[in-house]
């Protein structure tokens, strides 16, 4: 499986990092070795002094497809979960400044923390999903899927022109504003429509 990630998909987050709002999705990937599952701790790697959390809605692909039309994209997923796109911001800034790829900052071991999923048809409004991240009990991020610049159907249509999507692939859909640094001992809790889906410790 592969993990496809979208960058700068919320205008308020693009602004907080001083990035322009893109007119097509910013796409990068993480290998399957980046994944950590719910309740497993996240270990801060030795090569960075500035790891940020980015809470994101994550969709799991349920059908194989390429060149998927946007109007049919909803047939390729049926659940949504929460994940954290851990980012070594200090490394990313250096790579960005040189125009180099982001993998060392974004795709390292443990950089894709996944929680549980919920069926989309169990949600009050699958087109407007509310989610929050709490760090040590304090709310640090709040997002609504309706604020994405490119929604999941547009993302699938775009990404599948370049990469075949296969069952089990994950799509991280970008983070809202409020990203920040994690420290050893931090407790991160992600909630979707009030339900805790992600719960992890930083070590």
Question: Would you tell me which residues interact with Zn ion (CB under 5 A)?
Answer: 54, 85, 175
Torsion of CA 104, 202, 46, 50, to 10 degrees: 60
Distance between CA atoms of residues 149 and 25, nearest Å:
8
Task: Report, in Å, the least distance between residue 67 CB and Zn ion.
Answer: 25
Between 42 and 65, CB nearer to Zn ion = 42
Distance between CA atoms of residues 108 and 57, nearest Å:
20
Place of tokens 């987050």: 13
Task: Report, in Å, the least distance between residue 133 CB and Zn ion.
Answer: 12
Task: Report, in Å, the least distance between residue 174 CB and Zn ion.
Answer: 6
Residue number with the shortest CB distance to Zn ion? 85
Between 85 and 153, CB nearer to Zn ion = 85
Task: Report, in Å, the least distance between residue 28 CB and Zn ion.
Answer: 9
Cβ count near 21 (within 10 Å): 12
Between 54 and 169, CB nearer to Zn ion = 54
Q: Are 77 and 62 contacting, i.e. CB atoms less than 8 angstroms apart? A: yes
Between 132 and 175, CB nearer to Zn ion = 175
């Amino acid at each position: 499986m592969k993990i496809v990630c979208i960058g700068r998909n919320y205008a308020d987050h693009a602004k907080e990092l001083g990035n322009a709002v893109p007119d097509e999705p910013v796409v990068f990937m993480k290998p399957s070795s980046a994944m950590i599952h719910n309740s497993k701790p996240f270990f801060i790697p030795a090569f960075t002094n500035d790891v940020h959390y980015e809470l994101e809605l994550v969709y799991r692909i349920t059908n194989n497809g390429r060149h998927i039309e946007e109007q049919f994209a909803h047939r390729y997923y049926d659940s949504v979960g929460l994940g954290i796109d851990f980012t070594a911001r200090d490394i990313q800034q250096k790579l960005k400044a040189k125009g180099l790829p982001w993998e060392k900052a974004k795709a390292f071991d443990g950089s894709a923390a996944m929680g549980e999923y919920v069926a989309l048809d169990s949600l009050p409004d699958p087109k407007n999903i509310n989610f929050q991240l709490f760090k040590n009990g304090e709310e640090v991020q709040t997002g609504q899927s309706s604020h994405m610049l490119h929604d999941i159907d547009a993302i699938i249509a775009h990404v599948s022109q370049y990469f075949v999507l296969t069952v089990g692939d994950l799509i991280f859909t970008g983070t809202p504003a409020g990203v920040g640094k994690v420290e050893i001992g931090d407790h991160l809790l992600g909630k979707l429509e009030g339900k805790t889906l992600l719960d992890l410790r930083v070590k």
